[in-house]
Amino acid sequence: MGSCFSCQRGSSGKKDMTGSPSNAGNSKDNILPAVPSVPIQNMPPHDNILRDGDTVKHYRIRQLDEGGFFIARRTTFRTLQELVEYYSKDADGLCVNLRKPCVQVEKPVTGGLSHSTRDQWEIDRSSLKFVRKLGHGQFGEVWEGLWNNTTPVAIKTLKTGTMDPKDFLAEAQIMKKLRHTKLIQLYAVCTMEEPIYIITELMKNGSLLDFLQGKGRGLKLQQLIDMAAQIASGMAYLESQNYIHRDLAARNVLVGESNIVKIADFGLARLIKEDEYEARVGARFPIKWTAPEAANYSKFSIKSDVWSFGILLTELVTYGRIPYPGMTNAEVLHQVEHGYRMPMPPNCPTALYDIMLECWHKDAMKRPTFETLQWKLEDFFTMEGSEYKEASGY
């Protein structure tokens, strides 16, 4: 029952309305959907989706206990039709006012490369063509490639000896069953010989870390918060599946078109051979992203992922600055254990820093759930009195 609208900022800075960012010549006539005046008791809560330039915004329409609807609680409406009519005339905290039906930005992800790979995930590595190197890390490289010379894919190559192929295959069977729009979809694997190849859907803008330090340096605060909400959404799904990421960081989030982000490499960290991890990173874990109970006692949980998410928020608002600047891993481990927390980054909204601090609570059980983090970030700009400065200065 949800309503969708599309909107785009014009180059003049005014909020011009078009059908799609890629179709600047589309008609600018108002085309509001027909929202029937349905009895409120029959209307479920739903999302309202807006496109602002290259960013898709999600605003959750909620229902009052006593009847009626709202996006921001300060303004309520008896029917959905009244809500739509109001926001078509006045943005009142939304990125733009409502004008036209929203064209779908994200393409649906299929379950595999073909019918033959849905159950049989091992493919012949000769069917893969490496096109362009997208990035590299401690344990391998990521390439843009083609499967059977037709299907665009991402190919992650793992350095020889990084993990046991049998362990990886067992984990891959679990990873394949995890399906969410904010998780990178695993298509197939090549494990018959090393190096192991992991074939996934392609995100052409590479890692979020590289994107923030490069093409994404011009992103505004609203776009950064939207990315954070997308990541929280994917992590909320993992949370619901009792699955732990273990290495949540900007380097393990990928960026596609229109600032769409998806979580990658979930579950792989625990498969890394310990001696390999120590030799390449100089510590058992990426200390600056790791919750103290995980770094000190190997107590990984979804709550240690929440801690890492708080660190990721600092990466977003600082455009990829390394956490705890000027501090060594050993210093971070010692100081955090004794109560130190990163200070608020310059130009970071206080409300966002408050969320970071919640993620870094010493008591893991007092950290928020990802479901809570998702709605807080989705509602960040529609809460009462929310006026935030842009993140800048890096």
Please identify, among 201, 231, 266, the residue that sits at the C-terminal boundary of a domain: 201
Residue 6 lies in a domain: no
Report d(CA 224, CA 370) in Å as an integer: 17
CATH assignment of the domain containing 59 = 3.30.505.10
CB atoms within 10 A of CB 322: 12
Residue 308 lies in a domain: yes
Q: What angle do CA 122, 123, 124 make, to 5 degrees?
A: 135
Instruction: Give the residue from 26, 83, 35 showing the smallest Cα distance to 59.
Output: 83
Binding site residues, as ranges?
156
Count the domains in the chain.
3
324 shares a domain with 221: yes
146 shares a domain with 132: yes
Residue 260 lies in a domain: yes
Instruction: Give the residue from 351, 355, 347, 384 showing the smallest Cα distance to 372.
Output: 355
160 shares a domain with 77: no
Contact 99, 90 (CB under 8 A): no
Report d(CA 17, CA 53) in Å as an integer: 10
Instruction: Give the residue from 139, 134, 126 showing the smallest Cα distance to 168.
Output: 139
233 shares a domain with 195: no
pLDDT for position 323: 98
Residue 389 lies in a domain: no
Cα dihedral value 325, 328, 333, 336, nearest 10: -30
Q: What burial class does residue 296 get, using C-beta atoms within 10 Å of its C-beta: 0-12 exposed, 13-18 middle, 19+ buried?
A: middle
277 shares a domain with 136: no
Residue 148 lies in a domain: yes
Task: Name the residue range of residue 80's domain.
Answer: 47-89
Q: Which residues, at least 6 apart from 184, have a Cβ–Cβ distance to it below 8 Å?
A: 154, 200, 201, 203, 254, 262, 263, 264, 265
Beta bridge partners of 263: 183, 253
CB atoms within 10 A of CB 115: 9
Contact 17, 59 (CB under 8 A): no
Q: Which residues, at least 6 apart from 171, have a Cβ–Cβ distance to it below 8 Å?
A: 267, 268, 271
210 shares a domain with 196: no
Told to judge if 247 belongs to the known catalytic residues of this protein, a careful annotator would answer yes
355 shares a domain with 272: yes
pLDDT for position 123: 92
- Run means of pLDDT, 10 residues per run, the chain, 394 residues: 39 32 34 40 48 61 84 85 88 75 54 54 93 81 93 90 76 83 92 90 93 97 96 96 93 94 81 45 71 92 97 99 96 96 96 98 98 94 56 49
Beta bridge partners of 133: 143
DSSP 42-95: G---EEEEEEETTEEEEEEEEE-TTS-EESSTTSEESSHHHHHHHHHH--TTSS
322 shares a domain with 263: yes
| Structure tokens belonging to residue 117 | 């790979």
Q: Which of 226, 247, 305, 379 is catalytic?
A: 247
Q: Which residues, at least 6 apart from 376, have a Cβ–Cβ distance to it below 8 Å?
A: 355, 368
Contact 139, 272 (CB under 8 A): yes
Residue 270 lies in a domain: yes
354 shares a domain with 231: yes
Q: What separation in angstroms does the CA of 31 have from each of 19, 275, 379?
A: 10, 61, 26
194 shares a domain with 227: no
Beta bridge partners of 156: 142, 198
| Structure tokens belonging to residue 334 | 């010692």
224 shares a domain with 366: yes
Q: What separation in angstroms does the CA of 96 have from each of 6, 7, 218, 281, 334?
A: 9, 7, 19, 45, 46
Residue 151 lies in a domain: yes
Please identify, among 186, 201, 216, the residue that sits at the C-terminal boundary of a domain: 201
Q: What is the DSSP letter of 18?
A: -
152 shares a domain with 73: no
CATH assignment of the domain containing 156 = 3.30.200.20
Q: Model-level pTM?
A: 0.74
Contact 287, 258 (CB under 8 A): no
Please identify, among 147, 167, 201, the residue that sits at the C-terminal boundary of a domain: 201
Residue 302 lies in a domain: yes
Binding site residues for ATP, as ranges?
156
CATH assignment of the domain containing 330 = 1.10.510.10
Residue carrying structure tokens 């350095």: 159
Query: Residue length, the chain?
Result: 394
